[in-house]
A and B are shown apart, each in its own frame.
Chain A
Amino acid sequence: MCGAIKGGPSLEGVDVANQAVIQGIVTRDDEPVGNAYVRLLDAGGEFTAEVPTSATGQFRFFAAPGSWTLRTLVPRADVVERKVVAQKGAVAEVAVTV
């Protein structure tokens, strides 16, 4: 795969108006990372969910409105944390670089 596509997975078929979506892509050296694990932690740092990235490095969560932290684990890389705010009816896009 040459170069990463931008942003999270396609929102086709997703009822965005009723969801607080957090999504994005994990890249290393501008290439998507397909074997990353993205953990969603709530405002208190409590683990809420975890997803493996797709072959194209993408991930998505349906969160509640509020502040969240994404914690990304990748083989042979340091853990990366990114803060994000989710809102109902909106899509928070996060680009994670490891």
Chain B
Amino acid sequence: MSRETALVTADWVEEHLNDPKVVLVEVDEDTEAYDKGHIPGAVKLDWKKDLQDGVRHDFVSKDRLEALLSEKGIANDDTIVFYGGNNNWFAAYAYWYLKYYGHQNLRLLDGGRKKWELESRELTTDVPSREATTYTAQEPNADIRAFRDEVVEAIGTKNLIDVRSPDEYAGRLLAPAHLPQEAAQIGGHIPTAGNVPWSKAANEDGTFKSDEELAQLYSEAGLDENKDTIAYCRIGERSSHTWFVLHEILGYPNVKNYDGSWSEYGSLRGVPVAVGDQPGQA
């Protein structure tokens, strides 16, 4: 994977607005953002209603995802271009999620909704109608998703990257600062995890930094390219953004997203926890 195969520019999107095999999909933390205006032709995915099971604390099943994408008019051979607010935070989550279910042609719009808006490019409230398809998802790809037991075993052996803000890492905040402070039972981080806030991978306009800047960012935090890596945050969205950087842009081979993240880990019994600004000991 590389920048060229994972990202597209706003100009590229404008050139492909009428390409029937390119589907723009907006995914936002603010699930009403799409309704206020979106890129012409874009369809909406609601990260909560569409992508969470609702009963189990987990993804929707393969069957449900197939029904969802079929109804949205997305075909197996379509190129899906995700974009959204907050530096593509939730768009990166949807990208990782569809990669998990085996979609082949995925891209992120570099800079996401913010750059598009700040450049005063066209937004519309017209909702497109796409003819329904018969979408077939693949079996989940366990190579890119970590569960709790693997995370506990990774302490002191694999790269653990905590991508939350420094205050969340240290245990001074339990959630991002624009959300009410609730989630895990306790604050802190997984011992030995380095802290590279996800947002450091993005420029102020939401585009990703250069490959050189990105590689340096993680190596300075102690990431060893010869080891496997697990990224986590609070609920797995911001760490999807970092997974995207490490796996899709920089092409590091073994990178997993722990989507249970701190909201799960910080509520577990019997696991070690570190507080404060230092990684802590295994």
Residues of A at the B interface (CB closer than 8 Å) are 14-15, 18-19, 35, 37, 39-40, 42, 44, 46-52, 55, 60-64, 73-76
Size category of the binding interface on chain B? 20 to 34
- Bound CA span A46–B197, Å: 9
Cβ contact within 8 Å between A64 and B177: yes
Cβ contact within 8 Å between A42 and B165: yes
Instruction: Beyond A37-B117, A40-B178, list 18 extra A-B contacts (CB 8 Å).
Output: A15-B180, A19-B181, A39-B204, A42-B165, A47-B197, A47-B200, A48-B177, A49-B177, A50-B87, A50-B178, A60-B178, A62-B178, A62-B181, A63-B177, A64-B167, A73-B118, A73-B204, A75-B120
Contact of B178 among A35, A46, A61, A74 (CB under 8 A): A61
- Bound CA span A52–B33, Å: 9
Q: Which among B49-57, B71-79, B94-102, B168-176 touches the partner chain?
A: B168-176
Cβ contact within 8 Å between A48 and B87: no
Contact residues in B for A51 (Cβ distance below 8 Å): 86, 178
Contact of B165 among A19, A49, A52, A55 (CB under 8 A): A49
Nearest Cβ distance between residue A7 and chain B, in whole angstroms? 17
Contact A64:B173 (CB < 8 A) given known A48-B165, A50-B178, A75-B120 = yes
Q: Considering only CB atoms, which chain A residue lies closest to B89 in the complex?
A: A50
Cβ contact within 8 Å between A61 and B177: yes
Cβ contact within 8 Å between A50 and B86: yes
Contact residues in A for B180 (Cβ distance below 8 Å): 14-15, 19, 62
Nearest Cβ distance between residue B31 and chain A, in whole angstroms? 13
List 26 A-B pairs, Cβ < 8 Å. A14-B180, A15-B180, A19-B180, A19-B181, A37-B114, A40-B177, A42-B165, A44-B166, A46-B166, A47-B165, A48-B167, A49-B165, A49-B177, A50-B86, A51-B178, A52-B30, A52-B33, A61-B177, A61-B178, A62-B177, A62-B181, A64-B177, A73-B118, A75-B118, A75-B120, A76-B120
Nearest Cβ distance between residue B135 and chain A, in whole angstroms? 31
Nearest Cβ distance between residue A28 and chain B, in whole angstroms? 14
Q: Is the CB of B41 closer than 8 A to any CB of chain A? A: no
Which applies to chain B's interface (DSSP): helix, strand, loop or mixed?
A: loop
Contact A42:B117 (CB < 8 A) given known A51-B178, A62-B179 = no
Cβ contact within 8 Å between A62 and B87: no
Q: Is the CB of B191 closer than 8 A to any CB of chain A? A: no
Contact of A35 among B117, B166, B197 (CB under 8 A): B117
Nearest Cβ distance between residue A1 and chain B, in whole angstroms? 14
Contact residues in A for B177 (Cβ distance below 8 Å): 40, 48-49, 61-64
Nearest Cβ distance between residue B12 and chain A, in whole angstroms? 21
Q: Is the CB of B119 closer than 8 A to any CB of chain A? A: yes
| Chain B 78-116: CB-based contact to A (< 8 A → 1; otherwise 0) | 000000011100000000000000000000000000100
- Bound CA span A19–B175, Å: 12
Q: Considering only CB atoms, which chain B residue lies closest to A37 in the complex?
A: B114
Cβ contact within 8 Å between A52 and B118: no
Q: Considering only CB atoms, which chain A residue lies closest to B170 in the complex?
A: A64
Q: Is the CB of B36 closer than 8 A to any CB of chain A? A: yes
Interface centre among B33, B120, B180 (most CB of A within 10 A): B180
Nearest Cβ distance between residue A90 and chain B, in whole angstroms? 14
Cβ contact within 8 Å between A48 and B181: no
- Bound CA span A5–B237, Å: 34
Q: Considering only CB atoms, which chain B residue lies closest to A77 in the complex?
A: B118
Q: Considering only CB atoms, which chain A residue lies closest to B200 in the complex?
A: A47
